[in-house]
Amino acid sequence: MRINTYLRMALKYIDIGANLTDSMYQGCYGGSTKHPADLDIVLERAWQNGLQKIIITSGCVKDVDESLELAAKDERLYTTVGAHPTRCGEFLSDPAKYYNDLRSRIKANSEKVIAVGECGLDYDRLHFCEKETQLEYFEKQLTLAEEFQLPLFLHMRNAHEDFMKILERNRDKIEACGGGVVHSFTGTLEEAKSLLDFGGLYIGLNGCSLKTKENLEVVQQLPNERIMLETDCPWCGIRPTHAGHQHVTTKFPTVKKKEKWTKDALIDGRSEPCQISQVLEVIASIKQQPKEQLAEIYYQNTLDLFFKRSK
């Protein structure tokens, strides 16, 4: 047990996508408080399990403000700035103002803002934002990335064809900003190859990327030099029903009910950054490659895209 713990702690991780401003980390679920706020405990558990940096995901102006406030408290925390496809309707009342609100936050926080996003297309949830609005304001945000030369944190769900058309039409902007990562990838091998053939793009993998047998077959064939790790917490944990679960070796103490919260255990159904080790374990197992070697590659990939300007 001591050897396994040492190896887990010796590996270095960067979680490229963590929704740390989610109310679950304040103990609130569906508007009801179930336990004390525990984000500080969640973060300490992350640092103890090899996390070196965490990128907080922001999907609207409100998220950005909360993320910046949180990131200011710890040098290991960073954030994205952008409008998630399902939140692009927030542009509509005053498009220029909303764009400038995003822009001003990037300009004023250059040490903490390391990507434009989460932006992209999500045709699985058009009930939150219609297609035409998503298309317009995804493309608009690429101008932000070009202006500030920030990489992109991209979201794509059931919209590959339109997603690629926008990328192709804006190739000059994407090259100027240094590329990006398509996070929480769950697409086909053909879609993955299309993204990688575009150039400058990485693929982010989390528990949802490892959910089915088909997902695992895709991940197995992805080139290691284009992979990054994430949890997308508090979502996208690796569940017992997932195909990837059989490859998980690291187990964390867990309580089944939120009301049974304790500082020494995870809550079943709420993922945390520390569980990034489980994502690595699944990938290493299906690729039949040493997790230590893969951890180093994925860590360097992340530094190369997001932190190459850091001193």
Chain centroid to Cα 167, Å, comes to 20
In eight-state DSSP terms, residue 242 is: S
- Over residues 190-210, the mean pLDDT reads 97
Contact assessment for residue 250 and residue 273, using Cβ atoms and an 8 Å cutoff = no
pLDDT at 2: 36
- Entry pTM: 0.94
In a domain, 142, yes or no: yes
User: For residue 6, is it within any domain?
Assistant: no
Number of domains in the chain: 1
Decide if 160 is inside a domain: yes
Cα dist. 149→21, 142, 144 in Å? Answer: 25, 10, 8
Q: Does residue 1 fall inside a structural domain?
A: no
pLDDT for residue 5 is more than 70: no
142-171, pLDDT tens digit by residue? Answer: 999 999 999 999 999 999 999 999 999 999
Average pLDDT along the chain: 95
Tell me the mean pLDDT in the region 120-125: 97
Q: Is 84 annotated as a binding residue?
A: no
% of the chain beyond a pLDDT of 90? 95
Mean pLDDT confidence for 56-70: 97
- pLDDT at residue number 1: 33
Q: Which domain holds residue 299?
A: 13-307
What local confidence, expressed as pLDDT, does residue 308 receive? 83
Q: What value does the mean pLDDT take over residues 282-311?
A: 92
DSSP string across 149-206? T--EEEEEES-HHHHHHHHHHTHHHHHHHT-EEE-S----HHHHHHHHHHSSEEEEE-
Closest among 128, 185, 133 to 157, alpha carbons compared? 185
Determine the average pLDDT of the residues in 206-212.
98
CATH number at residue 170: 3.20.20.140
CA distance 193 to 127: 29
Across 13-17, average pLDDT: 98
In a domain, 204, yes or no: yes
3 within a domain of the structure (yes/no): no
Tell me the per-residue pLDDT of 85-102, one tens digit each, with 9 for 90 and over.
Answer: 999 999 999 999 999 999
Statement: residue 19 has pLDDT above 70 = yes
Name the strand (E) or helix (H) holding 51.
Answer: strand 51-56
Q: Is there a contact between 263 and 252 (Cβ–Cβ < 8 Å)? A: no
Task: List Cβ neighbours of 251 (8 Å cut-off, separation of 6 or more).
Answer: none
Confidence class for position 7, pLDDT limits 50, 70, 90: very low
- 134 inside domain: yes
The pLDDT value recorded for residue 291 is 97
pLDDT at 311: 37
- Predicted local distance difference test score (pLDDT) of residue 309: 64
Is 118 a known ligand-binding residue? Answer: yes
